[in-house]
Amino acid sequence: MTGLILRTVVVALFAAIALLPISWMATMAFKPPAEWTSATAELTFLPKDPTWSNFVYVFTGEVEGQIVSLDRTVWWPLFASLLTSVIGTLIAVVAGTAAAYAVSREKVGGSIGLSLLQLRIFPPLAVMIPVMIMWAFLGMIDTWWGLSLIYGIVTLPFSFWLMKSYFDELPREIEEAAIVEGCTAFEAFYQITLPIVVSAVASTALFIFILNWSDYLIALLLTRKEWTTIPVYMNALATAASGQLYGAKAALGLIAAIPPIILGISIQRFLVQGLTFGALKQ
Amino acid sequence: MAEIRLEGVTKRYGDLVALDDVSLVIEDGSFTSIFGPPSSGKSVLLRVLLGLESVDAGRVIVDGRDVTHATPNARNLSMVFQNLALFPHLDARDNIAFPMIRRGATQEDIDRWLEQLSGVLSIGHILHKRPAALSGGERQRVAIGRALIRDASAYMMDEPIAALDARLRDAMRVELKRLQTELGRTFIYVTHDCEEAMSVADNMAILENGRIVQQGRPDEVYTRPETLYVARLVGSPGINVLAGHASDNGVDIAMGRIAVPVDAGAVCVALRPEALGLARPGEGELRGTITDIERLGGFSVLTVSGGEELRAISNADVAHRIGDEVGLTVDPSGMHLFDPQAGTRIG
């Protein structure tokens, strides 16, 4: 009993520490400028005068109390982030799953798995500067396809290795059983293997989406204006007249947390599913 | 008519010869067990039959049709995998019906077959469950159901009951034999358990390093092993193998002399434990001292030493004690002589 209480207290404490920055951001999003500028006399956790004005400001560019209006509202960066993250995730998951399946089942590709890791061995800047130069030559700077493509490429190692570990775990006899019972190799993959690993695909997709969604460096280097994503846009949320727009940034931070949460909830039933439990004897 | 024929099948993995010129005929409606120690090529043989592995030489013929290069789904063979390989995302009903659905059977046909099978396998009450919710024995029966639901030329089983506990294994063994008799279908059963191989099959093939060393009815294999290897593999407790020297129509071994017409020279003498009978000291062909008695309920196993060691089966209420001097009689039908170098049968 004492153990249970102690455990609850410790867990609650850690949860509070972990959630503090997030809750701080959440309350800040509802504070009027007077409560987050440097002129604030006293800092409070909860807004004294809660307001939607930060949200209104990032979505419309103007709000009462802010002298400076924003050149760009959040709409387009939000769209850019969603589009490039989703396409990048699709590329990584589809190509990664296919490659992982081939390597896991047919032992093809030699050391392709390790080669894929090269993208991740070096510090991101060391890789991204050459990529930026290439992209500039190819005319892919500040395009949605240029950004989507690189998102797909840099997250491919994750989807490959995650999916490969799932396929390795899945006994090939399950597919062989399907083949013996009348399937072609592709049908066995499509009708049997894929439905079994769907939960793995879902969790891989979520993981990769979050990576892409929260990327700052790549978007900073490969976009100029039109296709800047939320993190880049957020960094630019400052004006000479008003300084850093913390309230607006907090509001944007809350908005940016929504898509991964929605995605996470919508694929939750796949995430909690076991993979092959019950297929085998033990 | 569903005769399966392997003609000179050879399968190599690099330098390793997994199957070496294997020829085998499996008759329609027979229950054939393929028996051998681990990695003797049993599973490869099944995989070659199924078409999951290609062959390097030889032919595979099913129902008179050469299927050596046919894809697995064109061979009309069915299989129960060693690890069962159920489809975890489908319930038991869909697992079993899968082969029928694949072949575009009507719902009526599927239901009819399912009903018949679930009666035979007594799985009617678990059809709605997924494999994860089934016990080991239930999964086993679902896997067997999936293999049996369609009208295949033959049904293969790769150690299908090896992972079950002993009691369940005995029950399943009887069940399988009954199923095969009832359905009159061709079963090919792979196992490394000799007792299992002998009890279910009416024909057995014994593999040694990818070669078939003997084939025949279980009782033939038992009573007339062609090689020392086979003699050692079948029977429990294992056969006694002793070094002997033949001369003047008799063989001398450390514990005595057994009269048998054989050419002079070194021989290997193999004696079935049940062919040895206890006698008073001085009587019988052999003599020794009892060094161990295992009382196994229905019978006892005695270890008798005298230069070499022998194990003999005796009745349960054996009155002897450890340390007693005894004589042993030898029933010639349980004695086999082998060439000590080649391991082949003499006489």
The number of distinct structural domains making up chain A is 2
- C-alpha B178/C-alpha B191 separation (Å) is 18
- Among A202, A219, A236, residue at a domain's last position: A236
Once rounded to an integer, what is the mean pLDDT over residues A28-57? 83
- Residue A13 inside a domain? The answer is yes
Q: Are residues A50 and A91 in the same domain?
A: no
Contact A279, A174 (CB under 8 A): yes
- Residue A159 inside a domain? The answer is yes
- C-alpha B308/C-alpha B240 separation (Å) is 10
ipTM value, please give it. Answer: 0.81
- Examine the pLDDT at A243 and tell me if it is beyond 90: no
Q: What is the pTM of this model?
A: 0.79
- Examine the pLDDT at B145 and tell me if it is beyond 60: yes
Quickly list DSSP for B168-220: HHHHHHHHHHHHHHHHT--EEEEES-HHHHHHH-SEEEEEETTEEEEEE-HHH
Compute the mean pLDDT over every residue in chain B, rounded to the nearest whole number.
89
CB count in 10 Å sphere of residue A201: 20
Confidence of residue A57 (pLDDT cuts 50, 70, 90): confident
Q: List CB contacts (< 8 A) between A196 and chain B.
A: 87-89
* Structural tokens at position A141: 């700077």
Q: Are residues A41 and A80 in the same domain?
A: no
Give pairs for A183-192: CB < 8 Å, separation 24+. Answer: A183/B73, A183/B102, A184/B71, A184/B73, A189/A101, A192/B87
Supply the DSSP symbol for A141: T
- Tell which residue, B272, B280, B190, has the closest CA to residue B237: B272
Q: List CB contacts (< 8 A) between B85 and chain A.
A: 171, 173-174, 176-177, 279-280
* Structural tokens at position B139: 């999964």
Q: Are residues A89 and A177 in the same domain?
A: yes
Write down the domain spans for chain B: 4-233, 240-346
State whether residue A179 sits within 8 Å of chain B by CB: yes
- Residue A178 inside a domain? The answer is yes
Give the model's pLDDT for residue A278.
47
- Residue A39 inside a domain? The answer is yes
Q: Are residues A104 and A223 in the same domain?
A: yes
Higher pLDDT, B2 or B265: B265
Contact B266, B259 (CB under 8 A): no
Contact B327, B280 (CB under 8 A): yes
Once rounded to an integer, what is the mean pLDDT over residues B246-270? 88
* Structural tokens at position A45: 């956790």
Give the model's pLDDT for residue A203.
87
Once rounded to an integer, what is the mean pLDDT over residues A208-233? 92
Question: B4-233 has which fold?
Answer: Rossmann fold (3.40.50)
Give the model's pLDDT for residue A282.
44
Q: Are residues A138 and A211 in the same domain?
A: yes
Q: Are residues A224 and A129 in the same domain?
A: yes
- C-alpha A158/C-alpha A209 separation (Å) is 11
- Tell which residue, B258, B234, B241, has the closest CA to residue B328: B258
Higher pLDDT, A272 or B303: B303
- Alpha-carbon distances, residue A193 vs A90, A95, A156, A173, B92 (angstroms): 19, 16, 20, 11, 17
Closest Cα of chain A to B126: distance in Å?
A: 14
Closest Cα of chain A to B86: distance in Å?
A: 5
Give the model's pLDDT for residue A273.
61
Q: Are residues A86 and A201 in the same domain?
A: yes
pLDDT tens readout for residues A104-121: 988 888 788 888 887 778
Once rounded to an integer, what is the mean pLDDT over residues B125-140? 89
Compute the mean pLDDT over every residue in chain A, rounded to the nearest whole number.
87
CATH number for A182? 1.10.3720.10
Once rounded to an integer, what is the mean pLDDT over residues B229-247? 90
**Percent of chain B at pLDDT exceeding 90:** 47
Which CATH class name applies to B240-346?
A: mainly beta
- Residue A65 inside a domain? The answer is no
- Tell which residue, B21, B5, B35, B24, has the closest CA to residue B189: B35
Q: Which of A274, A275, A280 sits opposite B83 (nearest CB)?
A: A280
pLDDT tens readout for residues B106-129: 899 899 888 888 887 888 899 999
Contact B268, B243 (CB under 8 A): yes
Give the model's pLDDT for residue B163.
67
Q: Are residues A10 and A130 in the same domain?
A: no
Give the model's pLDDT for residue B284.
87
Q: Are residues A129 and A229 in the same domain?
A: yes
Residues of B with a Cβ under 8 Å from any A Cβ are 50, 52, 71-73, 77-79, 81-89, 98-99, 102-103, 130-134, 136, 139-140, 146, 150, 163-164
| Parent domain of A31 | 2-60
